[in-house]
Chains A and B, each alone.
Chain A
Amino acid sequence: MVNYNERLGRTFAALVDPTRRAILARLEREDGASVSALAQPFAIKLPAVMKHLDVLDDAGLITRSKVGRTVTVQLRPEPMREAMDWLRRYERFWSMSLDRLAAYAEGKEAEVRKKRR
């Protein structure tokens, strides 16, 4: 559970930064872009972009692979899926609870009716 929370924390922390979101958005359109191509639209230096990529990598949101001298970046959707699941946990929680509540109340109703007969 702690690992899960740590992972989620890393995912959300990674997503909070506008530059990192822009990088992810770019990868949505163009998966497998090179690091230099990713850095191009930003008014920041390549080492700063590399730092952002490190954060995204630590959060498991991207993977990097090197072919020759070119490093390309791929998007990994799994942590996003986990974050979505986290957001849906309330729905799961209450949906399951209310189903059991209904079964319990219907049992009570049946008992009451039985006694009256």
Chain B
Amino acid sequence: MTSLTLVRRIKARPSIVFDALTTPEGIACWWGPDGGPVLVAETDPQVGGRFRVRFRMLDGSEHESSGEYLEVVKPERLSMSWRWTGGVEDPGESLVEIRLRAIVEGTELTFTHSRLRDEETRRSHEQGWNGALNKLERHFLQANEAAGQT
């Protein structure tokens, strides 16, 4: 669970997808886990440039994340450091990598968010973290299976 990868096939050329990923106008239209509005979108898509995005969720809570562009190769590759800012919980810095590949229908986008628990794991004094989480997951799976059987 320290990284996740998602793939999307999009009926748009890579340069359009790249702009959607890196322009404030684009980001304002898609960023966030539900239909809540993007409140702030700032980008400076060049190596060493920064981004900051603030959004409100439908439950009214506001969240902000920011980071630094580490790799900007239009319209193929984009990497940035990523962390939650201005919130109560900060699980540390993670890494977002996006690859765009031209395909017949348009673009295949491969999105990876990794190092999700690196800092958290380091900060945790106890060695038991991963074990606890694995156990948790196992228990949850078993609970689901049990529920499925009834």
A interface residue numbers (CB < 8 A to B): 1-2, 5, 12, 15-18, 21, 24-25, 28, 77, 80-81, 83-84, 87, 89-106, 108-109, 112
Contacts and interface: CB of A to CB of B under 8 A. Distances in A.
B121 to A, nearest CB: 12
Contacts of A91: 4, 6
Contacts of B109: 98, 101-102
Determine chain B's interface SS by DSSP, over half rule: mixed
A15 B133 CA distance: 8
Contacts of B20: 101, 104-105, 108
A89 B30 CA distance: 17
A112 B16 contact: yes
A110 B121 CA distance: 45
Interface residues of B, number: 44
Contact of A104 (B26, B32, B89, B135): B26
Contact of B136 (A2, A83, A90, A103): A83
B145 interface: no
A87 B4 contact: no
Contacts of B21: 101
B101 interface: no
A46 to B, nearest CB: 23
